[in-house]
Each structure stands twice: as C-alpha cells, then as structure tokens.
C-alpha cells in the first residue's frame, strides 16, 4: 500500500469513528466568558541606528517626524534640509492580554511603512500605543530583533525571510490597566466560539451537572447565561474555573472542506451521501513525434537524404469503473468506495463537487 493511500485510509478511519470513542471537550476549549478578551494596540514610531538601509529621500514623513522629535528636545531643524538614511518610519502593533497590570511587559511587532530596505540592528524610539478608544495603554521601546537578514548591493543581494518586519521582545511597558472586575457580579455570560444550538444546550447541561440545577441556561445558539451560586459569591474565580473544566461533547455541522491547491480533503464524521451512482473513467492522451528517413530514388542526380518528422496523436479511453453507494453512506464507506475505483485526492475533489451539484451530498461543501 502506497504512503498516499495509507494516509487517506487513516484519515477515513479516524473521521469515521463513532462519537463514543472520542474524548469529551472542556468548556474552556470551545467558549470564553464575556468580557475576558484581548485588546489590539497600534502606534507610529521611528527605528533609528540603521546602517544606511532606512527610508530614502523620497519618503518625507520620517524626516518630519525626526524634526518634531528634535524640536521637543530643544533642537530646531529644517525638515527639507535633512537627508538621513539611518531612520525608518514604522507601525508598532501589540496585543494587550486580559487582566494584565500596570508595569507588566509585552512583546511588540515593528513593521516598516516607508521604503526602508532593512531594519536589522535598529532601535525603536519610545512609541505610545493606543487602543480603539484613542487612549494610551502601552509605551514601546527597545532593539528590534529580526528572524532574517538582507545583505549585498542593489545588483547582488542575499535575503532571508522578511527584513522589514521585526519584534521587540518585552519592549512594551503597560501604562494603564483594562478594567475587568468579576468579583461583584452575580451573573456571567459564556460565549461559544462557534454558534451552534446543540453545543449551547449541551454546555448549559454540563454546567448544571457540575454546579447545580438551574445555574446555567442557553439563551441563543452562542450565549449561555450563568447565575453565580450563593456558595461562590466570594469565590468567583473558583466558580469560573469549575465552569471552564466542565466536560461536554461538542456538536458540529456536516461539512466537507476542499483545498484544490494542495489536494487536501477533510470530511466530518456526520457527512452522509444519498443514494447515488458514480462513474469514474480516465482519459490517456499521448502526443509524440516519430522521425522517418526519406531517401531519393536510386541513381537520382539531384536527390538527397532528409529526415521527415511525423507527428502522432494517440487517444485511449479506459473503461469506466462504476460504484453505487447506498442511501445514508458514512464517511468510511464513501472513502472506501472512491478508493476502490482508483480515485486520488484530486479526483475525489471533482467527484464530491459533482455529488454536491447533483444534490446527493448531505453536507456543506467549502472550497478554500
């Protein structure tokens, strides 16, 4: 058995297992408490100390920024007279984790927005990072670290990875907290990562089994309302941990995901196919050229030997192989049937698209 077919059968066997053989998921893996979230930050700054690889003269805003920065330090210059190549204008981005406190440090990402060739070896000057409400939550500064390099001249250059994007490890200093207080709450909302009424109902049932009847109720396909029991009034974190670790079975809709660029096919265990017949035939097309020798007649005074190419086209169509699937066929039966007629991953993609167009595939077909 070839490696490709063995992997194909392994995927079919894994996806075709019964739900009883699959481990239950924790609620913390499929949902999160409302209000517990990250916050995105951004800012505009300068990277200095570059070795002539910064923004060029046609990019004006880095020199204007430099002039404004020097003006705040008591030095007045004319931006039109400044011609430096050791600075680069950058956008600084970061993600502020929940419950982080003032004085903590986070990593920041630095990305060139001008025409700098390389920001390797540069230092980010102190940059305030703002949230969507325009308030400053983090200030960033420090040496930029790249996962690559760029070296050489304009005609002979060696480059590894992306030299205009880097990180400043622990370069962000938290200046302001994001207020999230659960200590005084008597109700909580749990939000599923993916909307599904069955999963929401199962999550509410699992929470009630773990903390008592009437604690949780699903109010829609994504949100579960939770009442904090009186015994956990002053132990809200302990109660949230209890909810997060409650086990449940996650339901998912029947879906087939196809990636035509790589030939990858992922089928969910709930995928079913109505009664359908599939005919799979292969067409072999061979185009070649045969060189024949043309000789003149014997004793011909002006004849000469020449090579005459003769093109041939041969088309051979193999006999179609037929397989019939019964109504409600499972994933394992579908994959076994398609393999029995010699269908590879790309053939299966075309066959599944045709089955979906016919209306026999009882699942969503998503092509990425």
Identify the burial level of 312 via C-beta atoms within 10 angstroms of its C-beta, where 0-12 means exposed, 13-18 middle and 19 or more buried. Answer: exposed
Which among 147, 126, 151 is positioned nearest to 52, based on CA atoms?
Answer: 151
Q: What is the pLDDT of residues 260-272, one digit of tens each?
A: 788 788 887 778 8
Q: What residues does each domain of the chain span? A: 23-34+181-247, 39-174, 255-367
- What's the pTM value of the predicted model, to 2 decimals? 0.66
What does the angle CA 329 – CA 356 – CA 17 come to, to the nearest 5 degrees?
35
**Strand 165-174 to 136-143 pairing:** antiparallel
Q: What is the pLDDT of residue 268?
A: 77
State the Cα–Cα distance between residues 151 and 159, nearest whole angstrom.
6
Q: Which residues contact 14 (CB under 8 A, 6 or more apart)?
A: none
- Selection from 146, 83, 151, 93 nearest residue 117 by Cα: 151
> pLDDT under 50 in the chain at which residues?
1-22, 283-287
Q: What is the pLDDT of residues 7-33, one digit of tens each?
A: 444 444 444 444 433 457 899 999 999
Rg, the chain, Cα only:
33
Q: What is the dihedral of CA 323, 327, 330, 332, to 10 degrees?
A: -20
Question: Which option is the CATH number for 23-34+181-247: 3.90.1150, 2.30.30, 2.30.29, 1.20.120?
Answer: 3.90.1150
- Written as six digits, the tokens of 259 are 């990636």
């Amino acid at each position: 058995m070839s490696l490709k077919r063995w992997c194909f059968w392994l995927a079919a066997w894994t996806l075709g297992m019964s739900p009883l053989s699959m481990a239950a998921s924790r609620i913390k893996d499929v949902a999160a408490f409302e209000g517990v979230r990250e916050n995105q930050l951004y800012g505009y700054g300068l990277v200095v100390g570059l070795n002539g690889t910064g923004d060029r003269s046609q990019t004006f805003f880095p020199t204007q920024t430099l002039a404004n920065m020097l003006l705040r330090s008591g030095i007045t210059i004319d931006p039109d007279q400044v011609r430096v190549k050791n600075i680069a204008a950058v956008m600084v981005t970061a993600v502020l984790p929940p419950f982080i406190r003032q004085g903590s440090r986070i990593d920041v990402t630095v990305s060139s927005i001008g025409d700098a060739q390389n920001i390797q070896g540069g230092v980010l000057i102190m940059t305030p990072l703002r949230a969507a409400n325009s308030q400053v939550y983090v200030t960033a500064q420090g040496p930029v670290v790249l996962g690559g390099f760029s070296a050489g001249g304009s005609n002979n250059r060696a480059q590894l990875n992306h030299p205009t994007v880097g990180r400043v490890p622990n370069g962000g200093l938290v200046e302001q907290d994001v207020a999230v207080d659960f200590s005084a709450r008597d109700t909580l909302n749990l939000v599923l990562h993916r909307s599904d009424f069955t999963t929401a109902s199962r999550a509410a049932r699992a929470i009630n089994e773990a903390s008592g009847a009437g604690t949780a109720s699903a109010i829609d396909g994504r949100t579960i309302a939770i009442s904090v029991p009186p015994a956990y009034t002053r132990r809200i974190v302990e109660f949230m941990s209890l909810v997060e670790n409650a086990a449940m079975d996650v339901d998912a809709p029947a879906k087939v995901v196809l990636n035509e660029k790589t030939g990858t096919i992922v089928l969910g265990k709930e995928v079913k196919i109505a009664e359908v017949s599939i005919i799979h035939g292969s067409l072999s097309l061979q185009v070649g050229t045969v060189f024949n020798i043309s000789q003149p007649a014997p004793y011909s005074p002006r004849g000469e030997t020449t090579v005459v190419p003769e093109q041939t086209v041969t088309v051979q169509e193999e006999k179609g192989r037929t397989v019939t699937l019964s109504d409600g066929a499972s994933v394992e039966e579908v994959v076994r049937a398609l393999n029995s007629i010699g269908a590879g991953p790309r053939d299966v993609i075309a066959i599944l698209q045709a089955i979906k167009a016919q209306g026999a595939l009882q699942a969503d077909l998503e092509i990425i």
